[in-house]
Amino acid sequence: MKRIVKSKSMATEETHLNHALERAGMDVVETDLGEYIVQLNQDRPSHIILPIIHLTREDVGAVMHRRIQVPLSDDPRTLAGFARAKLREEFLRADMGITGANFGVVETGTICLVTNEGNGRMVTTLPRVHVAVMGIEKLVPTLEDLDLFLRLLARSATGQKITTYTTLLRGPRRPGDECGPEAMHVILLDNGRSRLLAGDDAEILGCIRCGACLNACPIYKSIGGHAYGDTYPGPVGAIVTPGLRGLHGWSELPAASTLCGACRDVCPVRLDIPRMLLGLRRETVRTEKTPLGLRLGLKAFGWIAPRPKLYRAAAAAARRLVRARAREGWVRRLPGLGGGWTQARDLRAPAATTFQEQWTHRQQTARATGSTPGASAGGAGGAGVRRQQAHKPEAASGAGLTPAERAGGPGGAAQHPPARRR
């Protein structure tokens, strides 16, 4: 076996199978379009469903132009055509196809693949050997159970009633079959799942990898998938990664959450993700020594926060200090505990006035003029909005904003641009 084609598989990413096969002298090609671009760019996926959501179409065109010498383009149809031509050659000469599996049915021995590109069917029918790698948590008892999960997965992942290609496989080619592999092998992966099943977070093994929690999470939308450092990003990754790898070395992931509950609200299988994140935080405090600076900082905050006057004074002093370091609205370096943030990204400078100051000013203005607070457009923050528009007229029309900010995309939901990456 020399040439291998792969369909999307998080289990093989988790075990770094591609690197192992390449070290053994084999040629491995990803055939999911997003994963193919990730491989060409020597990058990592940043989303469970959309591996290259962090790249623009111009980025994709530049990667394909540089790595496979196709004409430079930013047209999605043209780029997909280039990839189709290249991958068809790989399909036809492959010795082995490797896939993941969305589900495995115990009752019938059926492997289920769910895709929207059709590459999964090419990988499982053209090569002589098919290998399916799946976590042990992907097993469901019966075909009736599979029917339920397929509907949940498609609607939560891509908003479809059913995905374009839903493939059910029960073995290699039989006598009389026109296509299919000569041999089929199914690998059930544990890799820490049994240990996770025995713990307090066994519930997370019910995740169907739809990506809905990532799309809802304000932290993921601000920092992206690469910040999680491993195969599984987002709220589910903040539980799965420590569960599979161990909490040591991954204890920061459960803290990457506001515990707002958006992930729990959109989860199709109703996983209580905030509860599990809190449990991992408690375990971190119990088993790991918290740095002295962080302990002192948290104690100081706990003492100041219940005292409104002191809290406002401290916040005002901190705001002035941070704004003093800002250049063109961004802070490039922060001292002390803030230095960890600005090592990799710039920090947006705080506003010149707080919400409370804007509200007080608005109330005072209303009393002085005899108008009614709240009658004008803009709600509670109307005074601050009006001041910003008077200072910067293009704010009302959206001119000068990035497309993501105008569309309310990642980082734009609160009408603020995301932190600049370096």
Whole-Å CA distances, 349 to 153, 213, 320, 332, 338: 40, 29, 10, 10, 13
Residue 392 pLDDT more than 70? Answer: no
- Condensed to tens digits (0 to 9), the pLDDT of residues 314-355 reads 988 988 888 888 888 888 888 876 777 777 678 888 888 888
| CB-CB contact of 344 with 421 (8 Å) | yes
More confident residue, 134 or 176: 134
The whole-number pLDDT of residue 242 equals 96
| Domain boundaries defined on the chain | 3-189, 193-287, 294-350, 356-417
Over residues 109-131, the mean pLDDT reads 95
Residue 377 confidence (pLDDT) above 70:
no
Find tokens 């009389």 and name the residue.
Answer: 176
Q: Which region among 92-96, 243-247, 410-414 has the lowest average model confidence (pLDDT)?
A: 410-414
What's the mean pLDDT in 54-64?
96
Nearest to 185 by CA among 253, 263, 265, 127: 127
- Which SS3 state, helix, strand or coil, does residue 137 take? helix
Among the listed residues 234, 237, 210, the one whose alpha carbon sits nearest the alpha carbon of residue 222 = 234
Residue 58: pLDDT band with limits 50, 70, 90 = very high
pLDDT at 402 over 80: no
Residue 411 reports pLDDT greater than 60: no
**Cβ neighbour number for residue 331 with a 10 Å cutoff:** 20
**Among 185-189, 208-212, 347-351, the least confident range:** 347-351
Say yes or no to pLDDT of 384 above 50.
no
- 83-106 average pLDDT score: 96
Question: For 244-294, what is each residue's pLDDT tens digit?
Answer: 999 988 999 999 999 999 999 999 999 999 999 999 999 998 888 777 877
Helix (H) or strand (E) holding 189: strand 183-189
CA atoms within 13 A on the CB side of 91: 19
pLDDT of 394 reads 40
Which regions of 81-175 does DSSP assign to beta strands (E)? Answer: 96-99, 103-105, 110-115, 129-135, 139-140, 165-169
Residue pair 207/236 in contact by the 8 Å Cβ criterion: yes
Q: What is the pLDDT of residue 250?
A: 93
Q: Name the CATH topology of 193-287.
A: Fumarate Reductase Iron-sulfur Protein; Chain B, domain 2 (1.10.1060)
CATH of 3-189, one of 1.25.40, 1.10.10, 3.10.129, 3.40.50: 3.40.50
pLDDT at 373: 63
Average pLDDT, the chain: 87
Alpha carbons 254 and 278: distance in angstroms, whole number:
7
pLDDT of residue 298: 85
pLDDT at 390 (0 to 100)? 41
pLDDT at 75 over 90: yes
Q: Is the pLDDT of residue 96 over 50?
A: yes
pLDDT of residue 21: 97
Structure tokens at 157: 């992942």
Residue 337: the pLDDT is 67
Confidence category of residue 374, pLDDT binned at 50, 70, 90: low
- DSSP, res 399: T
Beta strand pairing call for 3-6 and 27-30? parallel
pLDDT at residue number 343:
75
